[in-house]
Amino acid sequence: MLNSCVMHRHTGPAPGIMEWGDIGYHSRTPPVRIAGTLNSQCCISEVSDPVVLPYLQGFNTALFQQDNARPHVARIFESFFVD
């Protein structure tokens, strides 16, 4: 635990604005402004259901990738995509 080997980072809520967007080969979704904290329910109701699903349904083949962020690995989010 030498001080020179420790990197401090902020782990609490940070002030600011979160935006979400999706990029494909030849298109992109409109940016979505997330007010407050992004949790799994917010991710479904404000991003995935109104923006991601219609966007992906516009392709013959599509692959949805996520980054294992906490809202993306919650059971409710995973079941949303399975359904």
pLDDT digits (tens, 9 = 90+) for 30-65: 889 888 788 899 889 999 999 988 988 888 888 888
The model carries a pTM of 0.68
Distance CA 15, CA 18 (A): 10
Q: Which helix (H) or strand (E) holds 18?
A: strand 18-20
Beta bridge partners of 32: 20
Using CA atoms, how far residue 51 sits from 6, 20, 28, 33, 47, in Å, is: 40, 10, 11, 12, 5
